[in-house]
Amino acid sequence: MRIHQVGSALGYGDAVTNHMLALDRLLRGWGLATALYGHTVEPRLGEVAAPDTAYRDDDPSDLLIYHYSVYCPNIDLFRRSRHRKLLIYHNITPAHFYTPYHEELERLCQRGRDALPLLRECELGVGVSEYNRRELVEAGFAPDRTAVLPILLDLDAFSSTRRDEKVFRRLSQSAGANLLFVGRGAPNKAHGDLLKLLAAYRQSVDPHAHLWLVGSRFLPRYDAVLDRLAQRLGVADAVTFTDRVSLAELKAYYAGASVFVCASQHEGLCVPLLEAMVFGVPILARAAAAVPDTLGASGVLYHTADYGVLAETVGVLVGDEGLRGQVVAGQRRRLADFAPHRVAAQWRATLLALGIPIGDEVRV
């Protein structure tokens, strides 16, 4: 008996790929035979994953775990497989966010969302957040065959990686507060709102504040819109778009951040919120999509983009040590719900319910 995981594009640093790798380590730690596949596999992952063309469904006792985050041709692999099947839905960005910027991504996102009902013939449909689970039910999945299984965080990767001191010095030597957001340069992330927040914050609270936008830039049209907006707002010299960074650099950005700001309009989970919790960075985030599910009762949520009010809120989170400590403490309590041993126990119970034999010991 083997547990197969199949995803779309397996790449270094990708959140879905990281989840697959962490789950694979957990399963192997329980003595289970495993295999990883992707429709595309980054060369650096070639030793641990194979192209999905190598997948075989010869043994009907096997389990297929399919990670769904965008339309991919291997959706047909999942549908025709004779294995027991578990779907993990990471959510798909609504297509309209890409309409002005990238026609192909718009098409893939729409096709992916349209195809979700075709995947409901499985033993279990899992969302990495309650928001995602509800979307499965809306797509026709039977409610009693859905569940929430949080993402497996690889906290060891952060603790075993030395931060980039050059990056950390840049932030620690800043004359003002360091506002941080981590996420790829996609329109649903609403980077423009963060630029407006920065402008308001520099005008009314801290004229030396800097905004660090950490994440890949892959949409030239969207990038150009943001660059023009930064110029128009007069904050071009106070914002840094990093593009893709290493884990050591990412650790330095979190370590040097004053506050984590998130204006995203659509998230299926938002792993950077959890990473900010790990580093004790207070969070201000828009209450949209899965973000309230991820934060729970922690952080500071907002519903209306009143940039003056938001700027004052950031100022309090940066300057009021008492309140900052309360917010960070609440985030630590919430982070405990994502502790690897707790998530591992949930996975163990789920797999046992599916008839997968596992020993008594939960090893993470």
Tally Cβ neighbours within 10 Å of residue 326.
12
The residue-averaged pLDDT of 276-305 equals: 97
| Number of domains comprising the chain | 2
Query: Is the domain of 314 the same as that of 228?
Result: yes
Using the Cα atoms of residue 163, residue 164, residue 166 and residue 167 in order, give the sign of their dihedral. Answer: negative
The CATH number of residue 294's host domain is: 3.40.50.2000
d(CA 306, CA 312): 10
- Residue listed under structure tokens 């040097």: 256
> What residues pair up with 68 in beta bridges, in sequence order?
89
Q: What is the SS3 assignment for 285?
A: strand
pLDDT of amino acid 44: 93
- What is the reported pTM? 0.95
* Each residue's pLDDT tens digit, 15-56: 899 999 999 999 999 999 999 999 999 999 999 999 999 999
Query: Is the domain of 288 the same as that of 319?
Result: yes
The residue-averaged pLDDT of 320-328 equals: 98
Domain span at residue 192 reads 164-337
Q: At what angle do helices 191-204 and 220-233 cross, to 10 degrees?
A: 10
Query: Is the domain of 188 the same as that of 274?
Result: yes
Query: Is the domain of 289 the same as that of 324?
Result: yes
Residue 16 forms part of a structural domain: yes
Provide the H-helix boundaries in the chain: 15-29, 75-80, 103-115, 130-138, 155-159, 165-172, 191-204, 220-233, 247-256, 271-278, 291-295, 307-319, 321-335, 340-353
360: confidence class by pLDDT, cuts 50, 70, 90: low
d(CA 288, CA 237): 29
Query: Is the domain of 182 the same as that of 222?
Result: yes
* Each residue's pLDDT tens digit, 104-143: 999 999 999 999 999 999 999 999 999 999 999 999 999 9
Residue 66 forms part of a structural domain: yes
Query: Is the domain of 53 the same as that of 100?
Result: yes
Structure-block tokens of residue 139: 């797509």
In degrees and rounded to multiples of 5, residue 183 shows phi and psi of: 165, 145
pLDDT of amino acid 361: 47
Burial tier of 112 (Cβ tally within 10 Å: 0-12, 13-18, 19+): buried
